[in-house]
Amino acid sequence: MTPDQTTAAEPVVEPVVTIAADRAPEPGPAPETAPVVFDVRDLNVYYGAFRAIRDANLHIHRNEVTAFIGPSGCGKSTMLRCFDRMNDLIEGARVEGSVKYHGVDLYGDKIDPVEVRKRIGMVFQKPNPFPKSIYDNIAFGPKLAGIKGDMHEIVERALRQAALWDEVKDRLKKSAIGLSGGQQQRLCIARAIAVAPEVILMDEPCSALDPIATARIEDLMQELKSQYTIVIVTHNMQQAARVSDRTAFFTTEVNETSDTRTGVLVEYDVTDKMFSNPTDERTENYVTGRFG
């Protein structure tokens, strides 16, 4: 307490009492204050006869970073791809249950997947810039989407938001392939931002990057979340603990009838709780690294 906050006339209060009173009790999950962007209900995803995800339910909140963690093959990337209907591009993929985006069923009859992907951008594991100039990489999306306005301004804003502008402003016409891995990944983030989406999905965006480049992307996520809703799949648990507000833990269940595995959502809670005191023993075992 600073001196100006208290007066000499005030009785001396034991500071420990203040500490105890300041701590609001948090029974169960944190209050869900941020509006829900995605509302997933009883989601089942199949690839042909194979069920990749079983009965998943969760809410993604606006202006938060949500992390999906879990062992390989647990369905976290599949879940991510449900949000921008990328699974549509896979032969035999089928989605049951509902994925609502601001209350609208993403898998409704009248929904155009292309329209969905304009609002929901995706950044992949391996940076995948087009073999074009840095400028054209960013301008491509807005042009295709028919976004009107000063294209230079759009490109600059996207590059600035992706914390790349200062590094590339003098070589915008040079090939994007000449950038470092970390720069390429930030370029891909800038490219996703350029079409002004509401949500950015990231599928292991740092797994191909060194620690410095990773730290930059992580910082970037913190800056971007004030404007965007971010969902990230990561194998790096410390990364999930560092960047996300909420964490969903998925794992695999071996099916009794066949030798296949299905992904299940085990626990979904505020990240602090998931990494300090998870409710489900399977989460505890996974985050502590006892069982893979």
Partner 1 sequence: MSPAGSADRPGPVRLGYGAELEQLRLQTEVMGLRVDQNLERMRQVLVTGDPRLAATALAADDEIDAMNVSLTERCYEVLARENPVASDLRLVVSVVRVISELERVGDLCLRVVKVAVDHERLTAQARPFDILCVMADESIDLFRAALRAWATDDLDLATELAIGPRSLDLAYAQLVDALVRLDGPDAAAAAMQALVAGQALERIADHAAILGTRLRYLITGDPNHLATEVRR
Cα–Cα distances (Å) from 142 to 129, 158, 168, in that order, read 15, 11, 19
For 195-210, the DSSP string reads: T--SEEEEESTTTTS-
7 touches partner 1 (CB under 8 A)? no
Nearest-approach distance from CB 7 to partner 1, in angstroms: 25
List the interface residues with partner 1, window 227-246 (CB under 8 A). Answer: 237-238, 241
Rounded Cα distance, 74 and 261, in Å: 8
- For partner 1, which stretch binds (CB under 8 A), given 51-59, 79-87, 262-270, 281-289? 281-289
258 is a site residue for partner 1 (CB under 8 A):
no
Q: Does 23 bind partner 1 (CB under 8 A)?
A: yes
Is 218 near partner 1 (CB under 8 A)?
no
Which residues 77-116 are close enough to bind partner 1 by CB under 8 A?
none
3-state secondary structure 73-90: CCCHHHHHHHCCCHHHHC
Any contact of residue 280 with partner 1 (CB under 8 A)?
no
Cα-Cα-Cα-Cα dihedral sign, residues 142, 83, 272, 249: negative
Can you tell me which of 6, 72, 227, 255 binds partner 1, judged by CB under 8 A? 72
Contact criterion met (CB below 8 Å) for 121 and 192: yes
184-219: b (≥16 Cβ within 10 Å) or e: bbbbbbbbbbbbbbbbbbbbbbbebbeeebbebbbe
Question: Between residue 114 and residue 143, which ones bind partner 1 under the rule CB under 8 A?
Answer: none
Min dist. Cβ of residue 42 to partner 1 (A): 27
Which CB sits closer to partner 1, 194 or 237? 237
- Asked whether position 287 contacts partner 1 by CB under 8 A, the answer is yes
Beta bridge partners of 128: none
Instruction: Kindly tell me which residue out of 20, 49, 89, 212 binds partner 1, with binding defined by CB under 8 A.
Output: 20
**Stretch in the footprint of partner 1 (CB under 8 A) among 14-22, 120-128, 149-157, 200-208:** 14-22
17 binds partner 1, rule: CB under 8 A: yes
CB of 240 to partner 1, least distance (A): 10
Q: In the complex, what is the shortest distance from the CB of residue 210 to partner 1, in angstroms, rounded to a whole number? A: 18
Cα–Cα distance measured from residue 1 to residue 175, given in angstroms and rounded to the nearest whole number? 55
Are 37 and 101 contacting, i.e. CB atoms less than 8 angstroms apart? yes
Among 12, 19, 89, 212, which residue interacts with partner 1 (rule: CB under 8 A)? 19
Alpha helices in 34-130 (DSSP H): 76-82, 113-119
User: Site residues (CB under 8 A) for partner 1?
Assistant: 16-17, 19-20, 23, 25-26, 71-72, 237-238, 241, 275-278, 283-284, 287-292
